[in-house]
Amino acid sequence: MFKYNLKLAFKSLHYRTGLTALMVATIGIGIGMLMTMVTIGHQARKVPLPGLSDQLFLVRMDSRHADARDVTLPQRMVNLTYRDALNLFNAKTVASQQTFNFKVFPILDAQEESSRPIQAMVDATTASFFDMFGARFIYGKAWTKSENGAPVIVISKKTNDQLFGGRDSIGEQIVVGTGKATVVGVLDDWSTPRRIFDGSYSSSRFDDAFIPYQFALDINAQRSQRMSCHPQDAGKRLAFTTTDLQGLLSSECTWVNFWAKIDNPADAQQYRAFAEQYVVEQKGYGRFPRPILNFILNIDEQYAMARFGGGRQETLNLLAYLFFFVCLVNAVGMLLTKFLSTSKEVCLRRALGAKKKIIMGQYLLEVMMIGLMGGLLGVVMSFGGLTLMKHVRMYASDYTADMEVLNLAYQLDWSMVSASIGVAIASTIVVGLYPVWRIVNVSPASQLKGA
């Protein structure tokens, strides 16, 4: 019987081909639009560094001024002061490894005829950073723990391409701001569309190089102005980022990202207790004037709380859902038209003794096939939609965005492909229920007389 139904369903698809095509197109366009927007969100929320994301904890502590505003969202909490970062880094904790980093913006110059200097975004960090974040090297390796103040540098693949034309540059000397450093490693691309390690989750520009933190301080490379200071230092930010290094290091300004790797996430509680104890201790020195509030969250937890894409993307998401709904309402109308135009046939079959169930089966099968085709078309559409949105984004960034990063962020994956087809079939069945119910309940013989 199923085979017979299948045959009939296929035949019925051919009957009024135009209407079938229109229906498939409607569902396809709806699914395409929906999946384009959902995929953008899905890729944005995809947690990077699988396998490490539950072990890497970003440490933030409320060391702000007593009158500072209350903060409830962890992403709004300030980073650490240099002194706290150093204290935690040197403390014995349950974490297997710890690291910290801050951004500096020196100019890098290979001093070769063939390349021009670049203004680099550089992370000043510790030797443990590379292992903690699973960095992959094309050439060379990370510096060692004893070299946290040495004039060495690890550069990104892109920087190596720009400065050295992509060749093995290990051992080369390059100008780093007012100093010079030896290249010890060249990194491969990070396979994530977002920058994690600085807590920004930005998808715009990736770090060009990494240098030991003490070396960054020694050459007094220009630091990022993104820091939060106590009121008495608010006016000194410009000096702190350029000239007044000692002032910054001893100030209460927060500008250092701190990460702890806790191999067994269950030990996080122990680490949190340690951090709390640390704040209590510091309060004894008259620091940390506010109530204790530490946020020690792993990447998974941070991702669960973060809102990516912003208002504009959410608007598009909402519209895509509504648009899909319109397409479905549309499909109801078309299914009604299509099915009820075969009323006579159904009458005849019913009159000849076909059970309602069997007729229902046949029409549901047809609905499912339409859903399947709509879903497949939707996949093609969403591929096109994502490509389009990627180019829109490229245009919007004035062609400064990194195409490789965008490719990751606007990529269709198998979970989305199967979701498209699943949603298409399921929703077509739901909206098909009423038309199927109508056709099944056509009374036998009602239409036969005219035939």
In the complex, least distance from residue 393 CB atom to other proteins, rounded to whole angstroms: 8
Number of residues that bind other proteins (CB under 8 A): 52
By CB under 8 A, is residue 336 in contact with other proteins?
A: yes
Q: For helices 17-45 and 2-14, what crossing angle results, to 10°? A: 100
By CB under 8 A, is residue 308 in contact with other proteins?
A: no
By CB under 8 A, is residue 395 in contact with other proteins?
A: yes
Q: Which residue type does 108 have?
A: L
d(CA 404, CA 351): 63
Work out which of 216, 334, 425, 436 binds other proteins, going by CB under 8 A.
334
- Is residue 265 a contact partner of residue 298, using CB atoms and an 8 Å limit? yes
d(CA 22, CA 96): 60
Closest to other proteins by CB, 180 vs 290, is 180
Cβ of 363: how many Cβ atoms within 10 Å? 25
Closest to other proteins by CB, 199 vs 385, is 385
By CB under 8 A, is residue 446 in contact with other proteins?
A: no
By CB under 8 A, is residue 51 in contact with other proteins?
A: no
In the complex, least distance from residue 25 CB atom to other proteins, rounded to whole angstroms: 8
Bin 445: left if φ > 0, else alpha if -120 < ψ < 50, else beta.
Answer: left
By CB under 8 A, is residue 325 in contact with other proteins?
A: yes
Q: For helices 414-440 and 17-45, what crossing angle results, to 10°? A: 140
Closest to other proteins by CB, 94 vs 316, is 316
In the complex, least distance from residue 388 CB atom to other proteins, rounded to whole angstroms: 9
By CB under 8 A, is residue 73 in contact with other proteins?
A: no
Closest to other proteins by CB, 218 vs 267, is 218
By CB under 8 A, is residue 393 in contact with other proteins?
A: yes
Q: What is the CA radius of gyration of the chain?
A: 30
- Is residue 142 a contact partner of residue 154, using CB atoms and an 8 Å limit? yes
By CB under 8 A, is residue 443 in contact with other proteins?
A: no
Work out which of 13, 34, 38, 106 binds other proteins, going by CB under 8 A.
106
Name residue, tokens 């704040």. Answer: 279
Work out which of 40, 155, 296, 320 binds other proteins, going by CB under 8 A.
320
Work out which of 51, 92, 312, 352 binds other proteins, going by CB under 8 A.
312
Residues 190-219 within binding reach of other proteins (CB under 8 A): none
d(CA 284, CA 275): 15
- Is residue 193 a contact partner of residue 203, using CB atoms and an 8 Å limit? yes
Q: Which stretch binds other proteins (CB under 8 A): 201-209, 253-261, 330-338, 369-377?
A: 330-338
- Is residue 220 a contact partner of residue 245, using CB atoms and an 8 Å limit? yes
In the complex, least distance from residue 71 CB atom to other proteins, rounded to whole angstroms: 18
Cα angle 396-399-401, degrees, rounded to a multiple of 5? 85
d(CA 26, CA 429): 15
Work out which of 109, 147, 345, 404 binds other proteins, going by CB under 8 A.
109
Closest to other proteins by CB, 97 vs 330, is 330
Question: Phi and psi of 310, rounded to 5°?
Answer: 75, 180
Buried-exposed string 308-320: b where 16+ CB fall within 10 A, e elsewhere:
beeeebeebbeeb
Cβ of 305: how many Cβ atoms within 10 Å? 11
In the complex, least distance from residue 340 CB atom to other proteins, rounded to whole angstroms: 7
From residue 240, give the alpha-carbon distance in Å to each of 84, 100, 139, 284: 17, 19, 35, 27
Tokens matching residue 422: 């699943």
Kindly write out the interface string for residues 412-441 of this chain, putting x where it contacts other proteins by CB under 8 A and - elsewhere. ----------------------x---x---
Kindly write out the interface string for residues 220-259 of this chain, putting x where it contacts other proteins by CB under 8 A and - elsewhere. ----------------------xx----------------
Q: Which stretch binds other proteins (CB under 8 A): 165-173, 275-283, 306-314, 367-375?
A: 306-314
Cα angle 271-148-154, degrees, rounded to a multiple of 5? 105
Contact footprint for other proteins (CB under 8 A): 19, 22, 26, 29-30, 33, 106-107, 109, 116-119, 175, 177-178, 242-243, 310-312, 314-316, 318-320, 322-323, 325-327, 329-330, 332-334, 336-337, 340-341, 389, 392-393, 395-398, 434, 438, 449-450
